[in-house]
Amino acid sequence: MATSTSDVQQQSINTIRTLSMDAVQAANSGHPGTPMALAPLTYAIWNEHLNYDPANPNWMGRDRFVLSCGHASMLLYSMIHLAEVAGTDKKGDPTGKPSISIEDIKNFRQMGSPCAGHPEFGYAAGIETTTGPLGQGLGNSVGMAIAGKWLAATYDRPGYELFDFDTYTVCSDGDVMEGIGCEAASLAGHLKLSNLCWIYDDNEITIEGRTELAFSEDVKGRFESLGWNVITVTDANDLDALNAAYDQFKKTSDKPTLIIVKSIIGFGAPNKQDTSGAHGSPLGEDEIKLAKDNYGWTEEKFHVPSDVYDAFRAGIGARGKESYAAWTEKFDAYKKEFAAEAAEIEMIQSGDLPKGWQDAIPTFEADEKGMATRASSGKVLQEVCKAIPWFIGGSADLAGSNKSNNDDPAAGHFGAGDYSGKNFHFGIREHVMAAICNGMSLSGIRAYGATFFVFTDYLRPSLRLSSIMHQPVFYIMSHDSIGLGEDGPTHQPVEHMAACRSIPNVLTMRPGDANEVAKCYQAAFENNDRPTVIVLSRQNMPTFDRSKFGSADGVLKGAYTLVDCDGTPDAILIGTGSEVTICVDAATELEKAGVKTRVVSMPCWKLFDEQPADYRESVLPAAVTNRVAVEAGIKMGWERYIGAEGKFIGMSSFGGSAPFEELYEHFGITAAKIAEAAKA
Show which residues are catalytic.
430
- d(Cα 58, Cα 551) in Å, to the nearest integer? 41
Residue 174 exposure: Cα atoms within 13 Å on the Cβ side: 20
Distant-in-sequence contacts of 5-13, Cβ < 8 A, 24+ apart:
8/307, 8/308, 8/310, 8/311, 9/43, 9/239, 9/311, 11/305, 11/307, 11/308, 11/311, 12/43, 12/47, 12/82, 12/308, 12/311, 12/312, 13/39, 13/40, 13/43
Please check whether residue 341 is in contact with residue 75, taking contact to mean a CB–CB distance below 8 angstroms: no
CA distances from 178 to 16, 79, 134, 172, 328 (A): 28, 26, 7, 10, 40
Residue 282's CB: how many other CB atoms inside 10 A?
21
Label the pairing between strands 560-563 and 540-543. Answer: unpaired
| Axis-axis angle for helices 136-155, 430-442 (nearest 10) | 60
User: Would you mind telling me the total number of residues written for the chain in this entry?
Assistant: 680
- Who's near 423: CB < 8 A, 6+ residues apart? 392, 394, 399, 405, 406, 411, 412, 413, 414
- d(Cα 353, Cα 522) in Å, to the nearest integer? 12
Label the pairing between strands 86-88 and 94-98. Answer: antiparallel
Distant-in-sequence contacts of 156-164, Cβ < 8 A, 24+ apart:
157/334, 157/337, 157/338, 157/341, 160/330, 160/331, 160/333, 160/334, 160/337, 160/338, 162/60, 162/61, 162/327, 162/330, 162/331, 162/334, 162/345, 163/60, 163/61, 164/61, 164/195
Label the pairing between strands 209-210 and 205-206. Answer: antiparallel
Residue 444's CB: how many other CB atoms inside 10 A?
18
C-alpha angle 647-648-649 in degrees, rounded to nearest 5: 130
- d(Cα 453, Cα 587) in Å, to the nearest integer? 29
Exposure letters 518-539 (e unless 16+ CB within 10 A, then b)? bbbbbbbbebeebbbbbbbbbb
Please check whether residue 488 is in contact with residue 656, taking contact to mean a CB–CB distance below 8 angstroms: yes
Residue 578's CB: how many other CB atoms inside 10 A?
29
